[in-house]
């Protein structure tokens, strides 16, 4: 249980650091409706920026773990039994339309020797 608690703290810290600039960007989304490229391009940039931040922070905290991100796909780690699973903007359509119903989603999958797996954080 202590490991799960420590991992939850790692996730909370990474999500809070990722959310700060995302919330600033969210405040500008409504103005992007009239931009030349449109809000979709902005959301893609926001997704990539958020995922890059999460990748950096989670890999720093647990360098051997794998990483499965919505934008970058699977990055295998040296520890084959643990993989971070990330959706940097869960609710992209809401984010794109300046609706405040979106989240940063982070989980940690642990694979067992028998082939089964579980989400531990």
Residue 98: closest CA among 32, 19, 34:
32
Output the domain CATH number for residue 41. Answer: 3.30.540.10
**Contacting residues for 84 by C-beta, under 8 A, at least 6 apart:** 54, 58, 62, 65, 66, 67, 68, 106, 107, 108
**pTM of the predicted model, to two decimals?**
0.85
**Domain range holding 23?**
2-119
What is the mean pLDDT of each successive set of 10 residues along the chain, which is 121 residues long? Answer: 80 96 78 52 79 97 96 94 96 84 95 92 84
Number of structural domains found in the chain: 1
pLDDT confidence of residue 77:
97
């Amino acid at each position: 249980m202590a490991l799960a608690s420590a991992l939850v703290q790692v996730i909370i810290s990474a999500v809070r650091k990722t959310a700060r600039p995302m919330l600033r960007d969210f405040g500008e989304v409504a103005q992007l409706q009239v931009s030349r490229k449109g809000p979709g391009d902005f959301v893609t940039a926001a997704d990539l920026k958020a995922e890059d931040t999460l990748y950096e922070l989670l890999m720093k905290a647990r360098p051997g773990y794998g990483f499965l991100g919505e934008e970058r796909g699977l990055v295998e780690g040296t520890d084959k039994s643990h993989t971070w699973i990330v959706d940097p903007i869960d609710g992209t359509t809401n984010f794109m339309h300046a609706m405040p119903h979106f989240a940063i989603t982070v989980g940690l999958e642990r694979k067992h020797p028998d082939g089964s797996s579980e989400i531990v954080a």
